[in-house]
Amino acid sequence: MKLQDLSISELRGALVRGELSAREIATRTLHDIERLNPHINAWTAITAERMLQEAERIDALRRSGQPLPALAGTPWAAKNLFDIAGHTTLAGARLLSDRPAAARDGYAVRQLHHAGALLSGMVNMDAYAYGFTTENSHYGATRNPHDPGRVAGGSSGGSAAAVAAGAVHFALGSDTNGSIRVPASLCGVFGLKPTFGRLSRSGTHPFAASLDHIGPMARRVADLAAVYDALQGHDPDDGFQAERPLEATAPQLHRGMEGLRCAVLGGFFTTWCDDEARAALQRAALALEARDELQFPEAELARSAAFIITASEGGNLYLPELKRQPELFEPNSRERLLAGAMLPAAWYLQAQRFRRLARQKFQTLLSRADVLIAPATPCSATRIGEQEMIINGQPLPPRASMGMLTQPISFLGLPVVTVPLRASNGLPIGLQLISAPFNEQACLRAARALEQMGITDARPAEITP
């Protein structure tokens, strides 16, 4: 029996019955990572000692007959912008590699530790979280487990690849403009970007505070919901967190599509993608009985505004180091960040004010459908090093444009679950299931419905050395 064949709930059940020990899960996971990582370059650090200690805690609970927490014995990986006690938080950047180690775990990591999950290590990302391909010039490109010649997507590419390879049950990523949804789409796993402000971001290295989210990726919807539920909690250290009580989503999944109205999000979203993405959209729309196509005419402006906010806040964040030691920045990002630091304030403020208007306008769409379906990426994964993809007849750079369909939605701050389908060439391609603020359960239920109908495909990649 492979660990990857068991859901989080089944893994916990096997622990409770004594069929597996947490130590066995940890050692098998570490062995799998040792075998798989040379092929995908996902992990930048492996926390073997910590993982075994966390496993021992779970086994001790089991031996003493105490109840096991919800994620007991579940192996996972963290994007390397989450603080992990005793390790330097890299955020994919050589610039940060000499910083002191984190004094304690970030909030989300603490939540997962308390829930019994076993941290396997930290995984690769685009430097500073500024990119959609995880072609990291210092730590190397993370390879797509379904085709190692292709990108994993980004910026949480290591997280998606680790899950898609079947080495861990879930991973944490962050999403400013699409950094959970893009790699989830390209690597063929489920991803959840919750409502802006829903989950605490404290103890993560920021990029653009107005837009940063965190969230999980997994190969099963039930696992995604279980991890999301464990991540919820009030954190007084996060000034951006919305005041919202805990709302468990896992118990809602059995409701399926009960009472949910779905519609396709057209216009910009079906124009800027290829035929494979449109075909995937049609399959899901048919399955979810989404007969109406709704338009968000401000989508392109929303993307532009997100681009400006990101550039300005990211540029401002790194301005002191851009002045002090510009040679430590990777060439792909240095002038991009500097340009952002030099934007006129009028552009930034116009983008922030437009954000409120865009939210108001999108609310009209959400009064007509509970779940909106749109492609997550314009196409499947491009080849590593590829500088152009042709979308809608135009050459676009994958590193900056693979997130063009996710940017308008995170700009609005809406919850999204990315579901993995397959293109005709066998490569994964994802769709976004978008809902109203704090209605994560609706996205998850629609995702679960697609999973049960066999429309989605999140089988782990077969990696043969």
Partner 1 sequence: MTTEQQEAWLAAMAQSLEIELDDARRAELLARFSHIAAMAAPLMDYPLDERLDIAGVYRP
Active site residue ranges: 79, 155, 179
State the DSSP string of 13-27.
HHHHTTSS-HHHHHH
Judged by CB under 8 A, the residue of 346, 425, 454, 464 near partner 1 is: 346
Q: Cβ 97 to partner 1, closest distance in Å?
A: 23
266 phi and psi angles, rounded to 5 deg:
-100, -145
Interface with partner 1 in residues 419-438 (CB under 8 A): 437-438
d(CA 414, CA 431): 15
- Are the beta carbons of 98 and 321 closer than 8 angstroms? no
Angle subtended by helix axes 440-452 and 275-287, to nearest 10: 90
Does 335 contact partner 1 by CB under 8 A?
Answer: yes
C-beta of 285 vs 341, nearer to partner 1: 341
Interface with partner 1 in residues 215-274 (CB under 8 A): 240-244
d(CA 405, CA 429): 13
State the DSSP string of 220-241.
SHHHHHHHHHHH----TT-TT-
Q: Cβ 437 to partner 1, closest distance in Å?
A: 4
Judged by CB under 8 A, the residue of 263, 322, 379, 389 near partner 1 is: 322
C-beta of 277 vs 306, nearer to partner 1: 306
Does 387 contact partner 1 by CB under 8 A?
Answer: no
C-beta of 238 vs 457, nearer to partner 1: 238
State the DSSP string of 242-267.
--------GGGGGGTTTT--EEEE-T
C-beta of 170 vs 196, nearer to partner 1: 196
Does 338 contact partner 1 by CB under 8 A?
Answer: yes
- Cis ω for the linkage preceding 9 (within 30 of 0): no
Per-residue binding letters, 169-208, with partner 1 (x by CB under 8 A): --------------------------xxx-----------
Interface with partner 1 in residues 435-454 (CB under 8 A): 437-438
Region near partner 1 per CB under 8 A, out of 51-59, 79-87, 256-264, 343-351: 343-351
C-beta of 85 vs 343, nearer to partner 1: 343
Does 279 contact partner 1 by CB under 8 A?
Answer: no
For the chain, give the number of residues.
465
**How far is Cα of residue 189 from the mean position of the Cα atoms in its chain?**
10
Task: List the structure tokens of 197.
Answer: 């402000």
- Are the beta carbons of 380 and 186 closer than 8 angstroms? yes
Beta bridge partners of 263: 372
Angle subtended by helix axes 48-63 and 22-40, to nearest 10: 160
Amino acid at the residue 189: V
Per-residue binding letters, 283-312, with partner 1 (x by CB under 8 A): ------------------x--xx-xx--x-
Region near partner 1 per CB under 8 A, out of 109-117, 223-231, 248-256, 315-323: 315-323
Which residues lie near partner 1 (CB under 8 A)? 195-197, 240-244, 301, 304-305, 307-308, 311, 319, 322-323, 334-336, 338-344, 346-347, 349-357, 359, 413, 437-438
